[in-house]
Amino acid sequence: MCVTNDRVVAFQGMRGAYSEQACRERLPEYTLLPCRSFEDVFSAVEEGEAAVGMIPVENSMAGVVSDSYDLLAVRNLHIIGEHYLLVRHSLLGLPGADLEGIRAVYSHPQGLAQCQAFLRRYSWTRFSVYDTAGAAADLVERGNPADAAVASELCAGLYGLKVLKRDIQDCRMNTTRFLLMARDETTPPPAVACKTSLLFEVRNIPAALYKCLGGFATNGVNLTRLESRPVPNSPWAYHFYLDFQGRPEQPSVQHALDELKFFTTNLKHLGCYQESRKPEMPEGDPAA
Amino acid sequence: MCVTNDRVVAFQGMRGAYSEQACRERLPEYTLLPCRSFEDVFSAVEEGEAAVGMIPVENSMAGVVSDSYDLLAVRNLHIIGEHYLLVRHSLLGLPGADLEGIRAVYSHPQGLAQCQAFLRRYSWTRFSVYDTAGAAADLVERGNPADAAVASELCAGLYGLKVLKRDIQDCRMNTTRFLLMARDETTPPPAVACKTSLLFEVRNIPAALYKCLGGFATNGVNLTRLESRPVPNSPWAYHFYLDFQGRPEQPSVQHALDELKFFTTNLKHLGCYQESRKPEMPEGDPAA
C-alpha cells in the first residue's frame, strides 16, 4: 500500500456533502477524496487510492440506502467502523431568491424524502439528483432564482447561496448511519463494545428466517438490525443483512453462528468493529 | 358510497404509467383515475372518488417502494388484493433523437434503479422525476433531442416518442407487486388461497423479533415477506410489515396471532386477500 494514501478517506459526493461532514467528524486528520458514485468509493479503496471509504447505509427517517447495501454484497471490502451523523437540511437559493418565488427543488432522493412534510406545503416540482451538494452547486450554474436545493448549510458558504429556510427536515433527530470500509479486516481491542455485520440467504426450508435467528436468541446475542434486499437476477429471493452486538470470538456468538450456518447459504462475514454511540438530541432545536 | 364511483380505480402517475398497466390487467372493466401522488390515491379511495386504489409496494429488483409502505401505517385503508406486473422498460427519445446524441436521462428513481447496468455504460446525467410516464411526456414539452426517458413502450405511442432501446431493465424477470386498497375489508371466498398482511412494532424485550416469528414457525404458518421501516419521529425504532399465507379464521393462524400480540405493540391488521400468481418468465426474451 502506498504510504501517501494511508490517511485518505473516500466518500460519495462533492464538497459540502453530508458524507464529507461525516468524514470530517470521524477522521478529522484525513485527506478527503470525493467520488462520483458509491461504486467509485469502493474502487478507490480497493485500488489503494484511499485507505478508508465512508458510505451511508441507513437514515433514521428515510430507511436504507439501497445502493450501499447492494455493494456490500458484490464487492469485497470489510466494515471497520460505524459513524452516526446528525443531519440538518436547509433550503438554499440564489442570493436574490425568496421562498415565494421558488418553483422547483433539487436534491438527492433521500434529501427530498427527509423533508416531505415541509415540501408538501408547496407545489414545487421535485428533481432528484445524485448529491445534495451537487444540487446546491448546480443552482449557481443554472442561475434561475425559481430553483432551490435541499442541502447542508455548509453548502451556502461554499457556493455563495442564501439560506431560504433552516432545519426543514421532518424529524429533529434525523440521523444517518455510515460504515467505514477498508480492504483489510480489523480486530477491535478486547475492551471495546463491538458490533459484527453479516450477509446471508436463507435456505429454502420451512420457517427458515425464524431458525436463522434462533441461535442468537438462545445464546443471548442482541440483534441491532435485520434488513432484506432482493438478490440481483433472482426474482423474489432475498439477502439478509444482520448486525449484532458482540464479536465472533465470543463463545455465545460462535454458537449462534454455528446454528446460522446450518440454515443459510452464501454466509458472508462483513466485519467486526467498535460500536459507536448515536448522537444526542440537539439542545434548543426549533423543530417540533 | 356513490354508485358511479363503484368501478373507478385510482393510481399514481399519468397515462402510460406502469400502475395504469397494472390497473388495466387486473381491473379491465374499471374507469381509470390518475393521481399525482400516493397520498392522493389513498385520499381518492377514502373520499369515495374511487372504489379501489392500486399502489406498488415492491419491485423484484429495486426492493420496496418506501412511500407506499409508510402510507399503509398512517392511513386506514384495507388491502383487498395483490397483483404482479411484469415490467419492461424502454429508453424513449424525441422522433429525431438517436442513442449517440443522448446526454441526460429522466425517470422515476425506481425506473433508473432497474436499468442500472444499462445506464452505467453511458455518462448521462440522471434526473429522477415523480413518474416514468411523466418523464416521457416532459420530453415532448422540453423538445431537447439530447434528453431521453426510461418508461413503458406504451408511452411511445401515447406521446409520439421514438423507442431508442427496448428491454433495458437489468433482469428479464423485473416484476412489481401491487396492492389493491379499499375502504372496507373483504373476506375472500373459503376455497381460495389467501394472504394476510400485518403491521406491528416489537416490544422492547430481548430477542423480540425472534419471539414474534415463533408462533408462525411452530404453527406451520408460512411467511412470504418481512419488511422493516423506520417509525416516523422515533429514531431507530422500526415497524415490521409481515405477509403470511393463510387467513385469520384458521386455528393455526389464530394461535400464531395470539403469540404475536404478546410480543408486539400497535399491531394493525391490514387485510386478508386472495393470493395472486407471480408472472411466468416471458418466452423469447432477448435479455440475458
CATH number belonging to domain A194-274? 3.30.70.260
The chain B residues in contact with chain A (CB within 8 A) are 39, 59-63, 66, 109, 113, 126-130, 170-171, 173-175, 206-207, 209-211, 213-214, 216-217, 220, 222-223, 226-230, 232-233, 235-236, 278
State mean pLDDT over B28-45.
93
8 Å CB contact of B227 and A232:
no
A106 vs chain B: nearest CA distance in angstroms?
Answer: 10
Mean pLDDT of A109-121: 88
C-alpha span between A272 and B182 (Å, rounded): 46
Q: Is residue B186 annotated as a catalytic residue, yes or no?
A: no
Confidence of residue A210 (pLDDT cuts 50, 70, 90): very high
Average pLDDT of the segment spanning B161-187: 92
pLDDT of residue A98: 95
pLDDT higher than threshold 80 for residue B285: no
Distance CA B283, CA B39 (A): 37
Q: Calculate helix-pair angle for A38-46, A66-74, nearest 10 degrees.
A: 30
Angle formed at CA B95 by CA B172 and CA B15, multiple of 5 degrees: 60
Q: State the average pLDDT over residues A236-252.
A: 92
Sign of CA dihedral A132, A137, A138, A140: positive
Does residue B2 surpass a pLDDT of 50? no
- How does residue A281 score in pLDDT terms, banded at 50, 70 and 90? low
Q: Do residue A66 and residue B63 have CB atoms under 8 angstroms apart?
A: yes
pLDDT band at A77 (very low <50, low <70, confident <90, very high): very high
Residue range(s) of every CATH 3.40.190.10 domain in chain B: 8-87+174-182, 89-165
The helix/strand count (H/E) of chain B reads as 9, 15
The pLDDT confidence band at residue B1, using thresholds 50, 70 and 90, is very low
Q: What pLDDT, on a 0 to 100 scale, did the predictor assign at position B3?
A: 43
Least confident of A58-72, B6-20, B49-63, B200-214: A58-72
- Name residues whose C-beta falls within 8 Å of residue A183's C-beta, 6 or more positions apart in sequence: A45, A46, A48, A77, A78
Name the residue among B62, B128, B232 with its Cβ closest to that of A128. Answer: B128
Name the residue among B174, B155, B171 with its Cα closest to residue B163: B155
- Residue B283 has a pLDDT of 54
Q: Which three cell numbers stand for residue B65?
A: 417502494
Q: What is the mean pLDDT of residues A123-148?
A: 91
- Which carries the bigger pLDDT value, residue A288 or residue B140? B140
Q: How would DSSP label each residue in A88-115?
A: --EEEE-TT--GGG--EEEE-HHHHHTT
Q: How many CB pairs under 8 A join A and B?
A: 101
Nearest CA in chain B to A135: B127
Which whole number is the average pLDDT over B151-165? 94
* DSSP label at residue A3: G
A170 CB neighbours in chain B (<8 A) are 232-233
Stretch(es) of chain B classified as CATH 3.30.70.260: 194-274
Cα angle B5, B7, B12 (rounded to 5 degrees) comes to 85
| pLDDT above 80: residue A4 | no
Average pLDDT over residues A275-281: 80
In the numeric block, the cell 440537539 is attached to A282
Shortest CA distance from B213: residue in chain A:
A210
At B37 the pLDDT is 84
Q: In whole angstroms, what is the distance from residue A270 CA to residue A127 CA?
A: 34
**pLDDT computed for residue B259 by the predictor:** 96
pTM of the entire predicted model: 0.81
Query: A63–B175: do the CB atoms touch at under 8 Å?
Result: no
Task: CATH number for A8-87+174-182: choose from 3.30.1740.10, 2.60.260.20, 3.40.190.10, 3.40.109.10.
Answer: 3.40.190.10
CB contact under 8 A, A128 and B109: yes
Mean pLDDT of the region B122-135: 87
The Cα B88–Cα B174 span in angstroms is 7
The contacts of residue B230 (CB under 8 Å, 6+ apart) are A59, A60, A61, A62, A63, B236, B237, B238, B239
CA distance A85 to chain B (A): 13
Q: Which of B19, B46, B43, B38 is nearest to B30 (CA)?
A: B19
**Per-residue confidence at A14, pLDDT binned at 50, 70, 90?**
confident
- Asked if pLDDT for residue B206 goes beyond 70, the answer is yes
The pLDDT of residue B4:
47
Residue B219: partners with Cβ closer than 8 Å, 6 or more residues away: B252, B253, B255, B256
Express each pLDDT in B236-248 by its tens digit.
Answer: 778 899 999 999 9
Quote the ipTM score: 0.77
Q: What are phi and psi of A174, to 5 degrees?
A: -85, 105
- Average pLDDT (B179-193) is 94
Categorise residue B48: left if φ over 0, alpha if ψ from -120 to 50, beta otherwise.
left
Q: Average per-residue pLDDT in chain A?
A: 90
Return the closest-CA partner of residue A129 out of A151, A162, A144, A114.
Answer: A151
Helix runs in chain B, H state only = 18-26, 38-46, 66-74, 109-113, 116-119, 132-142, 153-159, 208-218, 251-263
pLDDT for the residue A278 = 81
Lowest mean pLDDT among A232-236, B54-58, B224-228: A232-236
Q: Give residue A64's pLDDT.
A: 76
Least CB–CB distance from B230: residue in A60, A216, A229:
A60
Topology (CATH level 3) of domain A89-165? D-Maltodextrin-Binding Protein; domain 2 (3.40.190)
Which of B60, B115, B141 to mutate: most A Cβ within 10 Å?
A: B60
C-alpha distances in angstroms, B272 versus A207, A255, A267, B52, B189? 21, 39, 34, 15, 11
Q: Distance from A48 to chain B by nearest Cα, in Å?
A: 23
Q: Say if residue B66's pLDDT is above 90.
A: no
Q: Do B209 and A232 touch (CB under 8 A)?
A: no
pLDDT at B68: 87
Question: What is the arithmetic mean of pLDDT over B32-41?
Answer: 91
Q: Rounded to an integer, what distance in angstroms lies between the CA atom of residue B120 and that of residue A71?
A: 15
Catalytic residue among B178, B200, B244, B263: B178
Tell me what the mean pLDDT of segment A88-116 comes to: 92
| Strands A125-128 and A104-107, bridge-based pairing | parallel
Query: How does strand A175-182 pair with strand A78-86?
Result: antiparallel
